[in-house]
């Protein structure tokens, strides 16, 4: 029997890749979008979390819901207005899904919500039990996860993935740090010694699929088994890239002047553990940064 996966945020760079991988595995896929269109393979339903509007027909055949909705956290400066948008785009989407499930008949048995490793303070050996940061990102992730976990009230198996630095050419922080390579500059942020916990986009999607296929619930870190120092990540990119570029260190104070509080994502020293998800039997396709940085992912 075919299962249908409903993806909120299905048009984003993670959602788009997840949609393709699910279709390749034989799942039926539907997406929630403010600009719905009927593709050849994935159905599309209208929603607008800001206006609390959703086409409840999206629930008629949904067995699994994956909520990746939220404004791109790396895309723009974190003005107070932008911070409100980052917060509301995540909280409102989770609340709308909860309210819709609570008031309509459905057969949803599994809900997977997104979060980020920005949940944590700086440190090493950060596990799912580590304490929450009091930073903007920490507060955002804490509230985001709280809304996802409300699905347990509806007897829906719920899990949350705390996502690290995603290796993808289509979006995320990696895309931003690769831009200077077009001009022959390989940027190293801060002193380059901070740990960066990354994950290839295919492994992130693989973890999400693994969670619902194995009926797992709870919090899981979405990071690869081998975090790297920031300077070593740049080394891996330089070894793979056609244009290696000149390594250029950007001091932390200058990065803060350029990016404001958004710079904390690049300067944070976070060595996050993947042991919990590997203990469930998930096998990473890309466990080392050198294997995850493909030539096709980098600028010519």
The label of the residue with tokens 């050849």 reads 40
pLDDT lower than 50: segments of the chain: 295-300
Which residues, at least 6 apart from 75, have a Cβ–Cβ distance to it below 8 Å? Answer: none
pTM: 0.92
Residue 230: CATH number of its domain: 3.40.50.720
Q: Encode pLDDT of 96-116 as tens digits.
A: 999 999 999 999 999 999 999
Q: Give residue 186's domain range.
A: 4-297
How much of the chain is helix, strand and coil, in % rounded to 5?
Answer: 45, 25, 35
Task: Please state, for a pLDDT cut of 90, what percent of the chain lies above it.
Answer: 65
Q: What is residue 225's predicted lDDT score, i.e. its pLDDT? A: 96
Residue 170 CA to residue 34 CA, distance in Å, equals: 20
Total domains in the chain come to 1
Residue 41 CA to residue 30 CA, distance in Å, equals: 9
Q: Encode pLDDT of 27-71 as tens digits.
A: 999 999 887 665 556 789 999 999 999 999 999 889 999 999 998
Specify the DSSP class assigned to residue 297. Answer: G
Q: What is residue 114's predicted lDDT score, i.e. its pLDDT? A: 97
Residue 172 near residue 232 (C-beta atoms within 8 A): no
Q: What is residue 156's predicted lDDT score, i.e. its pLDDT? A: 97
């Amino acid at each position: 029997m075919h299962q249908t996966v409903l993806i909120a945020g299905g048009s984003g760079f993670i959602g788009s890749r997840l949609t393709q991988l699910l279709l390749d595995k034989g799942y039926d896929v539907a997406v929630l979008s403010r600009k719905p269109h009927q593709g050849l393979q994935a159905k599309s339903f209208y929603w607008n979390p800001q206006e609390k509007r959703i086409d409840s027909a999206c629930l008629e055949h949904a067995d699994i819901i994956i909520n990746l909705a939220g404004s791109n956290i790396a895309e723009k400066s974190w003005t107070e207005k932008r911070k409100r948008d980052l917060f509301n785009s995540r909280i409102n989407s989770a609340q709308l899904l909860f309210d819709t499930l609570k008031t309509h008949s459905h057969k949803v048995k599994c809900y997977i919500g997104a979060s980020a490793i920005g949940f944590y303070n700086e440190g090493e050996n950060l596990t799912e039990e580590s304490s929450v940061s009091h930073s903007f990102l920490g507060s955002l992730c804490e509230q985001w996860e709280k809304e996802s976990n409300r699905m347990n009230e509806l007897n829906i198996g719920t899990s949350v993935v705390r996502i690290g630095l995603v290796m993808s050419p289509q979006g995320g922080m990696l895309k931003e740090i690769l831009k200077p390579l077009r001009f022959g500059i390989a940027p190293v942020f801060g002193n380059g010694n901070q740990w960066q916990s990354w994950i290839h986009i295919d492994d992130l999607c693989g973890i999400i699929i693994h969670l619902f296929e194995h009926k797992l619930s709870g919090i899981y870190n979405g990071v690869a088994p081998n975090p790297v120092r920031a300077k070593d990540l740049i080394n891996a990119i330089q070894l793979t890239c056609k244009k290696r570029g000149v390594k250029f260190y950007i001091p932390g104070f200058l990065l803060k002047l350029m990016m404001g509080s958004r710079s904390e994502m690049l300067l944070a020293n976070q060595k996050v553990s993947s042991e919990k998800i590997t203990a469930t039997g998930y096998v990473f396709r890309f466990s080392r940064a050198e294997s995850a940085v493909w030539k096709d992912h980098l600028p010519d």
